[in-house]
Amino acid sequence: MKIAVIGAGTMGSGIAQLVATAGHEAALVDISAEQLESGTTAIEKSLSRLVKKGTLGEAQSDAVRQRVAVSTSVAEAVTEVDVVIESVVEVLEVKQAVFVEVVAHAPDDVLLGTNTSQLSITAIGSAIPEHASRLVGLHFFNPPVLMRLVEVVAGLESSEKAIERAIALGESLGKETVLCRKDSPGFLTSRISALVRLECLRMLEEGVASAEDIDKALKVGFNWPMGPLELGDFNGLDTYLHILGSLEQTLGERFKPTVTLRNLVAAGRLGRKTGQGIYSYPS
């Protein structure tokens, strides 16, 4: 298959690498030539790490590299593709504009996937009403090469055929899939994960246990690779507050961010990236 991945940031470059590793041709597109370059460097680095670990052979790694073509033109990249996976910034209007351009140049039977983490698939599809039946959510996890799940999300207009193709695509990429049948805020995964993390923050605020013990309970007791509080610091507490804010607006009170989280963000203690969050990270 030939698959165009639009957006060469953290996720797009990882998805292009995954696509090429599975033996498909990847066309990686970004409006910024600089981003394309850093996306390509990220792929190179990841491949080198995998070769060093012995997960991938040298020849295989070279072949993956050769299967990733880069371009700054959506129109050029999508003319002969089977699938388009959009992974640009999380802004509704930007995603809609990308799909308007895609459908103007892509073949009529192309499967359209968006890697949005929380925007409505139906709202994105409303910009391309005649093609919305071919659009589904294809939600990958970071880093796409290593994480095992792809969450397929059906928009109101998504056809059964598009959903089936999306599930088959996930499988062809070596992933497990889950289907979120109803386009709803936070889909399956963000909704569950936001609630667990929020409950951990509530327990911390109530003084039920230390941050270390709350994280340890989840890691050791439930096999989470990272504790929910550590994960908040890792991804950025500002991002987390933003996600909770939009889930609260759509799903109500149970997603209301805690006062501690608001205060940490207001104080600029955003987690690892600022050296302090729920934990401290001395440089």
Q: Give the gyration radius of the chain's Cα atoms.
A: 20
Which of 5, 6, 50, 244 is in the footprint of ligand NAI by CB under 6 A? 6
Nearest Cα neighbor of 260 from 228, 234, 237 is: 237
Task: Report residue 128 as tokens.
Answer: 């391309």
Helix (H, G, I), strand (E, B) or coil at 218: helix
Give yes or no for residue 89 binding ligand NAI (CB under 6 A): yes
Which of 17, 46, 71, 116 is in the footprint of ligand NAI by CB under 6 A? 116
Give Cα separations from 79 to 73, 84, 89, 174, 258 (angstroms): 11, 10, 23, 26, 48
Beta strands 135-139 and 149-154: pairing type?
A: antiparallel
d(CA 282, CA 266): 20
Q: How far is the CB of 67 from ligand NAI (least distance, A)?
A: 20
d(CA 261, CA 99): 35
Q: How far is the CB of 232 from ligand NAI (least distance, A)?
A: 13
Give yes or no for residue 226 binding ligand NAI (CB under 6 A): no
Q: How far is the CB of 78 from ligand NAI (least distance, A)?
A: 11
Which residue(s) pair with 154 in the sheet?
Answer: 136
> Quick one: the chain helix, strand, coil %, rounded to 5?
50, 15, 35
Which of 33, 75, 94, 168 is in the footprint of ligand NAI by CB under 6 A? 94
Positions in 121-180 near ligand NAI (CB under 6 A) = 140-142
In the complex with ligand NAI, the residue whose CB is nearer, 89 or 266, is 89
In the complex with ligand NAI, the residue whose CB is nearer, 12 or 257, is 12
Positions in 8-47 near ligand NAI (CB under 6 A) = 8-12, 29-32, 35
Q: Going along 74-232, which residue ranges are E strands?
A: 83-86, 111-114, 135-139, 149-154, 176-180
d(CA 199, CA 229): 10
Give yes or no for residue 190 binding ligand NAI (CB under 6 A): no
Binding string, residues 237-266; x marks residues near ligand NAI by CB under 6 A: ------------------------------
The verdict on whether omega for the bond into residue 143 sits within 30 degrees of 0, i.e. cis, is yes
Q: How far is the CB of 94 from ligand NAI (least distance, A)?
A: 5
Residue nearest to ligand NAI (CB): 9
Our measurement of the distance from residue 125's CA atom to the centroid of its chain's CA atoms, rounded to an integer in Å, reads 18
Q: How far is the CB of 114 from ligand NAI (least distance, A)?
A: 7
- Identify the H or E element spanning 111: strand 111-114
Q: Which residues make Cβ contacts (< 8 Å) with residue 199, sequence separation at least 6?
A: none
In the complex with ligand NAI, the residue whose CB is nearer, 21 or 115, is 115
d(CA 16, CA 229): 30
Task: Report residue 155 as tokens.
Answer: 């928009």
In the complex with ligand NAI, the residue whose CB is nearer, 98 or 103, is 98
In the complex with ligand NAI, the residue whose CB is nearer, 15 or 167, is 15
In the complex with ligand NAI, the residue whose CB is nearer, 117 or 276, is 117
Which of 42, 68, 98, 243 is in the footprint of ligand NAI by CB under 6 A? 98
**What residues make contact with ligand NAI under the rule CB under 6 A?**
6-12, 29-32, 35, 87-90, 94, 98, 115-117, 140-142
